[in-house]
Amino acid sequence: MLLAGRLQPAEIAIDGEGRIASVRRTQTGAPRHDVGDAVILPAATDLHVHFRDPGAEGAAESIATGTISAALGGVGLVAEMPNTVPPVTSVELLEEKARRVAGRAAVDVALNALPRPATIPPLASRAGGFKIFLSPSPPIDTVPSLDELPSLLAQLAPAGLPVTVHAEDPQRFRTEIVPQDPPGWGRVRPPESERQAIERLGEAPPGLRLHVAHVTTRDAVVWLGARGISCEVVPHHLLLSDRSGPDARWKVNPPLRSETDRAALWGAFVRGEAPIVASDHAPHPPSAKEGDFAQAPSGMPGVETMLPLLLEKVRAGELPLAVLVAAACDRPARWLGQPVGRIAPGHRANLVVVDFRSRRPLAARELSTACGWTAFEGWTAIRPVEHWRDGVPIVEGGSYVGRPSGRVVRPEFAPGATPLVEAGT
């Protein structure tokens, strides 16, 4: 397993509560489970999923299906976004969503709320975090302006919860362009609109746990890192460019960028400059992606393929395993204040087993996500063979065998803990 940044043989003792008791070269005790020369990693935490639950009619995912998809992809904890139907703007709506997790979720779920000045204080004691959309994102059509942002952030700071921002400034969108393909979509929502929104975050109050979703350029990653603001990069901006696919399945917000921008973002990720990787799993039904590009919704599924695609990059020698584990497992777990994401005593035994020889092309028909398609069809990937949750297998032989034992989790931060997520490993 990966210990102190190196792959080395070791045995993990798990206590009766499903926590890691110790990690040693050899352990005594029974029962024992031998994974041979496969690699044990901490299960990943995905800070960015849209499970559409509650959703509009015809929604292509639910908390039940999305969390099984997560489990199969080696993700043991997800942060769910509040642009469900209706958006999560009140304690009542948050609790309604929490009721959909209990008895239905395969993995743990942190629930983000949408901040409205009047409901921030009551939501602060119940939510797992806040998500600010600076550009409309269905079904959210009213968003704060960049001038209103500093006051909103100031109101959020006392809550102490993680605040995630979708940073695109709609004032910079070139709405006169009718996009026909991904390059056209990139012209409508250019990198300048992202930069403009991100730069306003420099005015955020100190101490705010601030995180920027799906950053698409290396410059933005570096700018945020220099100011101690967390951010995530997502597999589609890391692996796909605006020339990767012609139709609306490759339409996402923010858009796919040029190959030059993609390569620079990937380079930043490989060097450990981007603190976190998340999927922005946005499962739209295939029918919504057919037809007119301009009218199609943005987003693509990803929670089940994020780790498998990046593990293949590790196998190919293009990505250090320690960088991946820090960005996919350790830092996002710490961001949510959860005792997962590390193979260390006291952490929950939420683990995945990876066999780097079991590489296979991705095929949508073999994926569990209810939306039934992937933009990565045919890409070689390494899917986890096993996934353990609190010391109990929920994936065996690559198949889901768990029960819906997922819970709603909220951040547990040690008093005085620093909000800063430092990049680099």
Binding mask 36-75 for ligand DOR (x = CB under 6 A): --------------x-------------------------
Helices (H), 259-347: 259-270, 286-289, 306-315, 321-325, 331-335
| Residue span 137-156 as binding mask against ligand DOR, x where in contact by CB under 6 A, dash where not | x-------------------
Quote the CA–CA distance of 108 and 233 in Å, as a whole number. Answer: 22
Q: How far is the CB of 34 from Zn ion (least distance, A)?
A: 40
Window contacting ligand DOR (CB under 6 A); options: 25-33, 180-188, 297-305, 312-320: 297-305
Q: How far apart are CA 209 and CA 81, in angstroms?
A: 17
Quote the tokens at residue 375: 């933009």
Smallest gap from Cβ 253 to ligand DOR, in A, equals: 4
| Binding site partner of 253, from Zn ion, ligand DOR, none, Cβ cut-off 5-8 A by kind | ligand DOR
Residue 117: how many other CB atoms lie within 10 Å: 12
The rounded distance, in Å, linking the Cα atoms of 363 and 163 is 35
Angle at 105 between CA 100 and CA 107, to 5 degrees: 140
Matching residue, tokens 């490989």? 270
- Given Zn ion, ligand DOR, none, residue 252, with its beta carbon under 5 to 8 Å by kind, binds ligand DOR
Pick what 209 binds: Zn ion, ligand DOR, none; C-beta below 5 to 8 Å, kind-dependent.
Answer: none
**Can residue 257 be called a binding residue for ligand DOR (CB under 6 A)?**
no
288 or 322: whose CB is closer to ligand DOR? 288
* 282 near ligand DOR (CB under 6 A): yes
> What's the rounded Cα separation, in Å, for the pair 376 and 417?
39
Out of ligand DOR, Zn ion, none, which partner does residue 232 contact, by CB within 5 to 8 A per kind?
A: none
Nearest distance from C-beta of residue 168 to ligand DOR, angstroms: 8
With respect to ligand DOR, which residue has the nearer C-beta, 232 or 355?
232
Choosing from 280, 330, 355, 390, which is the catalytic residue? Answer: 280
Is position 280 annotated as part of the catalytic site? yes
- Residue 211 interacts with ligand DOR (CB under 6 A): yes or no: no
Q: Write out the residues near Zn ion by the rule CB under 5 A.
A: 280
* Options 12, 44, 49, 252; binder of ligand DOR; rule CB under 6 A: 252
Count the site residues for ligand DOR by CB under 6 A: 11
Single out the residue of 73, 76, 179, 299 in contact with ligand DOR (rule: CB under 6 A): 299
Name the segment binding ligand DOR (CB under 6 A); options: 90-98, 217-225, 292-300, 309-317: 292-300
Q: Which residue is nearest to Zn ion (CB)?
A: 280
For residue 166, state whether it binds ligand DOR (rule: CB under 6 A): yes
The CA R_g of the chain, rounded to the nearest whole Å, is 20
Which DSSP string corresponds to 160-224? ---EEEE---GGG--TTS---SHHHHHHHS-HHHHHHHHHHGGGSPTT--EEE-S---HHHHHHH
DSSP reduced 3-state for 121 = helix
Nearer to Zn ion, 169 or 280 (CB): 280
Nearer to Zn ion, 38 or 276 (CB): 276
Query: Whose Cβ is closer to Zn ion: residue 168's or residue 280's?
Result: 280
∠220-224-229 over CA atoms, to 5°?
A: 145
Residue showing the smallest CB distance to ligand DOR in the complex: 299
Instruction: Find the shortest distance in angstroms from Cβ 252 to Zn ion.
Output: 9
Q: Which two tokens stand for residue 40?
A: 């044990």
Residue 113 exposed, middle or buried by CB count within 10 Å (0-12, 13-18, 19+): buried
Nearest approach, Cβ of 269 to Zn ion (angstroms)? 18
Element (H or E) spanning 61, and its range? Answer: none
Closest CA to 376 of 322, 289, 321, 310: 310
Question: Which segment (8-16, 23-31, 291-299, 412-420) binds ligand DOR by CB under 6 A?
Answer: 291-299
Of 415, 341, 335, the C-alpha closest to 128 is 335
Cα-based distances in Å from 6 to 181, 272, 277, 387: 43, 16, 21, 21
Q: Least Å distance between CB 50 and Zn ion?
A: 6
Closest CA to 373 of 255, 257, 266, 248: 248
Minimum distance from CB of 280 to ligand DOR (Å)? 6
User: Would you tell me which residues interact with ligand DOR (CB under 6 A)?
Assistant: 50, 83, 137, 166, 252-253, 280, 282, 297-299
Active site residues: 280
